[in-house]
Amino acid sequence: MTTLPVPAAVTAIRGRLVSFEPVAEGDQPRFVEDGLLVMAGGVVTAMGEAFDLLAHLPDGTRVVDHRPHLVMPGFVDPHLHMPQTQVIGSYGAELMEWLARYTFPEESRYGDPEIAGEAAVFLVDELLRSGTTTAAVYCTSHPVSVDAFFAEAARRDLRMVAGKVMMDRNAPPALLDTAQSGYDQSIALIERWHGQGRLEYAITPRFAPTSSPEQLEATGALARQHPSLHIQTHLSENHAEIAFVAELFPWSRDYLDVYERHGLVREKALFGHCIHLTERERAVLGERGASAIFCPTSNLFLGSGLFDRRGVAASGARIGLATDIGGGTSYSMLRTGAEAYKVLALQGQTLPAFDAFHMMTAGNAGAMGLGERIGRLAPGFEADVVVLDAQATPAMRRRMGRCETLAEELFVLLTMGDDRSVVATYAAGVKRHDRQNFDGPALPERPDAPSLAQPGFDPLKDTAQ
Ligand code: GUN
Ligand code: ZN
C-alpha cells in the first residue's frame, strides 16, 4: 500500500470508531473496535483499522489516542434559539405565555452587539462542550445577533446554519421588523454570511402568528430567489397556537397551508415541533421532502404534546431531533435522545440506541440537507467528531459493568450521559473542546438578577417583565 495522499498537517484519532449509516431501521452501524480516523484539510481522509492505517501515515502525523472511548460524528442539532440561553427553565407556562412573559422580553435585548456577542460565545462553547458541531439556529430579529453568532461560528470553523428571525406583528415593538425591512435585512445577511467558510444562511420567519400576510409574501419571494437556502420555522406545537393561526388566516385549511401558500414547504425547510399535525399536513411534508423536527425536552417542558415519530415517518417526511434551546432544557443531544425515547415510550413506540445515534448524527444531517457533508466518519466527509466516555460518572461506570454489546453501551450513554461524557469535540479536524482542559465558560453578569435568597421569592411573579 502507498502512503495516504494527504498533505503535512495530518491528524489522526485512534479509538473505537462508530458511524451510523443505516439504510433501514435495525441496520447496524459501522464499528471498528481499534480504529483510526485520519483527517487533513478539515476532512476525513481515511477511516479503518488502526493496524492497517498506522503503518502508512505520512511522516509527522499527530496521532491522538482516545482509546477506550467511542469516536463518532459530531452531533447535529437542527433547531435551537441563540438568544434563549437565559430563558431555559423559565417557570410554569405554555408556549404562548412563555413567549410573551419570558422569551420576547429577553430577545428584545439582542439589538445590543455586546449582549449578542457574549451570548454567541457562551452558546458555541456550550454546544462544543456537549459534542454538537452543527446546528440550525434562530437568532433574533436584530441583524447584529446574526452577525454575532456567525462571527463566533466562523472563529471556530464550524458548519452552522442560522438566520435572522422575521416577525412583524404580535410581539413587543423592540422585536418587530416590517415585511420590507425583514426582507432587506435577510438579503444583506445572506450576502454577508452565506457561503463564508462553512456558514449557511436560513430564511427564518419565526412562525405564522408573528408574520403578517405581507411578510409571508416577502418571505416567499426570498425563498423563490434563493431556492437552495434552508428555511426554518415552527409548526403545530401547541393547541392555542394552532387556534390562533386559524383565527389569523381564516382561509387556511390548516397551519401548514399558511406556509404552503407562500412557497415555504420544500426540501431543507425545517419545521420545528410538528406535534398536532393533520393527515393532510403530514402527507404534504412527506411529498415536499420537508423535515419535521422533534424537540422532546421542549415539548415536555412546555407541555406541548407528544411527537408521533411513527406517524410522521410513515408520511415520508424527514425527521430531525433537536434541543430547541431554550424551550428545551438541555444542550446535550444525549439527554435530548433520552427524552425522545421516553416521549415515544408513552405512545408505545421504541427508539433503539442505533436509531437514536443515527438521528443525532447522519439522520439530522440528512434532515438538514447536509447528509453529503457531515454526520458520518467516512472519507470526504467534514472532520467533525465527538469522543464519548460511557463511564463518565460512578453511576454509568457501575451500569456499564453489566453491558456486553455496543448497543447496550450506546443505550447507557443515551439514557445516563450528558456533557460529562464528552471527552473531546473536533470541528474540521481541529480539537475545539477538551474535557480535561475545560475550566468553564465565564458566567454572564447580571447585576439586576433577583436574589434567590429573598424570602418569598416567586419566580413567576417576581421576574415578570
Ligand atoms: N414558536 C415560536 N417561537 C418559538 C420559540 O422561540 N420557541 C418555541 N418552542 N416555539 C416557538
Ligand atoms: Zn423553536
Task: Give per-residue pLDDT as tens, 389-406.
Answer: 999 999 999 999 999 999
Average of per-residue pLDDT across 104-115: 98
Q: Between these two residues, 440 and 116, which has the higher pLDDT value?
A: 116
Confidence of residue 119 (pLDDT cuts 50, 70, 90): very high
Average of per-residue pLDDT across 363-385: 98
Tell whether ligand 1 has an atom less than 6 A from the beta carbon of residue 237. yes
DSSP 165-176: EE--SSS-GGG-
Kindly state the cell numbers that stand for 59.
511522516
Tell whether ligand 1 has an atom less than 6 A from the beta carbon of residue 206. yes
Q: What is the pLDDT of residue 9?
A: 78
If DSSP codes are grouped into helix, strand and coil, which group holds residue 80?
strand
Kindly state the cell numbers that stand for 64.
491522538
Distance of alpha carbon 314 from alpha carbon 30, whole angstroms: 26
Per-residue pLDDT for 426 more than 70?
A: yes
Taking the CA of residue 324 as reference, the ligand 1 atom at the shortest distance is 9
Q: What is the pLDDT of residue 462?
A: 44
Name the average pLDDT for the chain. 93
Per-residue pLDDT for 243 more than 60?
A: yes
Confidence of residue 261 (pLDDT cuts 50, 70, 90): very high
Tell whether ligand 1 has an atom less than 6 A from the beta carbon of residue 79. no
| Residues measured by CB to lie within 5 Å of ligand 2, the ion | 272, 324
Per-residue pLDDT for 5 more than 70?
A: no
Distance of alpha carbon 155 from alpha carbon 151, whole angstroms: 6
DSSP 304-317: -----HHHHHHTT-
Q: What is the pLDDT of residue 450?
A: 45
Lowest-pLDDT choice from 2-11, 23-32, 319-328: 2-11
Average of per-residue pLDDT across 214-225: 98
Task: Give per-residue pLDDT as tens, 275-325.
Answer: 999 999 999 999 999 999 999 999 999 999 999 999 999 999 999 999 999
Per-residue pLDDT for 459 more than 70?
A: no
Q: What is the pLDDT of residue 441?
A: 53
Tell whether ligand 1 has an atom less than 6 A from the beta carbon of residue 103. yes
Tell whether ligand 1 has an atom less than 6 A from the beta carbon of residue 298. yes
443 CB-near residues (< 8 Å, 6+ apart): none
Alpha-helical segments (H) within 276-384: 279-288, 296-301, 309-314, 333-345, 353-358, 364-367
Taking the CA of residue 302 as reference, the ligand 1 atom at the shortest distance is 9
Tell whether ligand 1 has an atom less than 6 A from the beta carbon of residue 207. yes
Distance of alpha carbon 138 from alpha carbon 158, whole angstroms: 16
Q: What is the pLDDT of residue 10?
A: 87
Task: Give per-residue pLDDT as tens, 39-72.
Answer: 999 999 999 999 999 999 999 999 999 999 999 9
Which residue's alpha carbon is at the smallest distance from atom 11 of ligand 1?
Answer: 234
Which residue's alpha carbon is at the smallest distance from atom 7 of ligand 1?
Answer: 327
Query: What does DSSP say about strands 269-273 and 160-163: parallel, antiparallel, or unpaired?
Result: unpaired
Q: What is the pLDDT of residue 23?
A: 63
Q: What is the pLDDT of residue 437?
A: 80
155 CB-near residues (< 8 Å, 6+ apart): none
Task: Give per-residue pLDDT as tens, 158-214.
Answer: 999 999 999 999 999 999 999 999 999 999 999 999 999 999 999 999 999 999 999
305 Cα to the center of ligand 2, angstroms: 15
Q: What sign has the CA pseudo-torsion 119, 125, 130, 135? A: positive
Q: What sign has the CA pseudo-torsion 79, 175, 182, 211? A: positive
